[in-house]
Amino acid sequence: VSPESLAEPVHYFDAAHSDAFSEILKIESCLKRALARDEFYLLYQPILSLTTGQMTGVEALLRWRCSELGQVSPDRFIPLAEQSGLILPIGRWVREEVCRQLQAWCSEQPEWDIPVAVNVSPAELVQPTFSEELLNRLALAQVPEKLLRIEITEHSLVRDNEAVEQNLVRLKARSIDINIDDFGTGYSSLSYLRRVPVSSLKIDRSFIDGLPTSEDGATITRTIIEMAKALGMEQVAEGIEKKEQLTFLHGHHCTYGQGYLFSRPLPPDQIPALRSHPMVLQESQNG
Ligand code: C2E
Ligand code: MG
Ligand code: MG
Ligand code: MG
């Protein structure tokens, strides 16, 4: 497409838009080469029990260090990967890498019991072969199935897609837990939540952000915790940065938490040491 044909009518193509547009094209063309150039790596962010302070799992978070653009945040490149279909090979790389890492941790420590949660995009979950590929990969790496979890967003569920439902049922039947990520920001219906085998709801960071002062944040957080408990699901609060947020969550018996207050996403070699050191969550309370 020539720039001339895009420039009509003229006011759609001002300098600001043209910059943003060419930047997107640039990122996309780099993204195509990122796998071959081995530019991806994973960080792992601890998830803690809010009752014991123990790390009970980690979330694998994708990082891209582009040789041309430098470090690019997932919030920028994941949407582009989803639109272009590149998320399919990238997602496969993520799961292969996680299996390799789990295999390494398990062989270093045979009693390894820290599961890894991987983020899965809607475009991946609609692939009818998704669950089979994942189970095969785990088997090949000889990693126990319960050590892998998946995080999906409500966007995967609203599609009401047969393949999505079959993938989820199949994974759950093989003890792979399913977490709903960023819960509260999408439109999944309560009846659909009952139909799919969901183990936990991750409360979106935007609600945790304003705790405890934001009335909306507090109401929504409380409601999600209660709803999850009523449905027999665990609750994971995302993005805990401050002690006051933790105190609020504690007071409402939220079961798990994740956030910079406990730990940033870490390189894999820093994870094993955290296994044996529970965080002190509260100063001892009177009464
Ligand atoms: P997410 O799955 O909701 O992951 C949580 C995000 O919150 C991560 O951002 C994490 O670094 C950030 N975070 C954790 N604790 C805190 C906190 O206390 N404060 C703040 N401000 N942020 C916190 P990140 O790593 O930039 O990832 C952004 C999103 O990109 C993820 O959101 C997920 O939707 C997507 N993503 C990351 N890795 C993958 C992947 O391997 N596959 C797919 N499909 N998506 C991925
Ligand atoms: Mg996630
Ligand atoms: Mg999230
Ligand atoms: Mg998110």
Query: What is the Cα–Cα distance from 168 to 230, expressed in whole angstroms?
Result: 21
Mean pLDDT of 207-214: 95
Give the pLDDT score at 158. 77
Residue 261 has what DSSP assignment? T
Residue 7 pLDDT > 90? no
Give the pLDDT score at 18. 64
41 lines ligand 1 (CB under 6 A): no
> Which residue's CA is the closest to the ligand 1 atom numbered 11?
265
121 lines ligand 1 (CB under 6 A): yes
pTM (two decimals): 0.93
Q: How many CB atoms lie within 10 A of CB 73?
A: 9
Residues 6 or more apart whose Cβ sits within 8 Å of residue 198: 178, 179, 180, 231, 233
Mean pLDDT of 134-157: 96
Residue 241 pLDDT > 80? yes
Mean pLDDT of 89-117: 97
Percent of the residues in the chain that have a pLDDT greater than 90, as a whole number: 80
61 lines ligand 1 (CB under 6 A): yes
Which is the closest atom of ligand 1 to the Cα of 202? 3
Give the pLDDT score at 44. 98
ipTM strictly over 0.90? yes
pLDDT per position as a tens digit, 168-199: 999 999 999 999 999 998 877 777 888 889 99
> Which residue's CA is the closest to the ligand 1 atom numbered 25?
61
> Which residue's CA is the closest to the ligand 1 atom numbered 2?
119
Q: How many angstroms does the Cα of residue 33 sit away from the middle of ligand 1?
A: 23
Which is the closest atom of ligand 1 to the Cα of 261? 18
Give the pLDDT score at 16. 58
Ligand nearest to the CA of 202: 3
> Taking Cα atoms as reference points, which of 197, 203, 196 lies closest to residue 182?
203
255 lines ligand 1 (CB under 6 A): no
Residue 17 pLDDT > 70? no
265 lines ligand 1 (CB under 6 A): yes
Give the pLDDT score at 153. 93
User: Which residue among 43, 97, 119 has the greatest number of ligand 1 atoms within 8 angstroms of its CB, and so is best to mutate?
Assistant: 119
Q: Residue 287: pLDDT band by 50, 70, 90 thresholds?
A: very low
User: Which residue among 44, 45, 61 has the greatest number of ligand 1 atoms within 8 angstroms of its CB, and so is best to mutate?
Assistant: 61
> Which residue's CA is the closest to the ligand 1 atom numbered 41?
62
Give the pLDDT score at 283. 55
Is the previous residue joined to 212 through a cis bond, with omega within 30 degrees of 0?
A: yes
Chain mean pLDDT for the chain: 91
Q: Residue 1: pLDDT band by 50, 70, 90 thresholds?
A: very low
Who wins on pLDDT, 12 or 190?
190
Mean pLDDT of 73-96: 97
Residue 236 pLDDT > 90? yes
Query: What is the Cα–Cα distance from 149 to 197, expressed in whole angstroms?
Result: 12
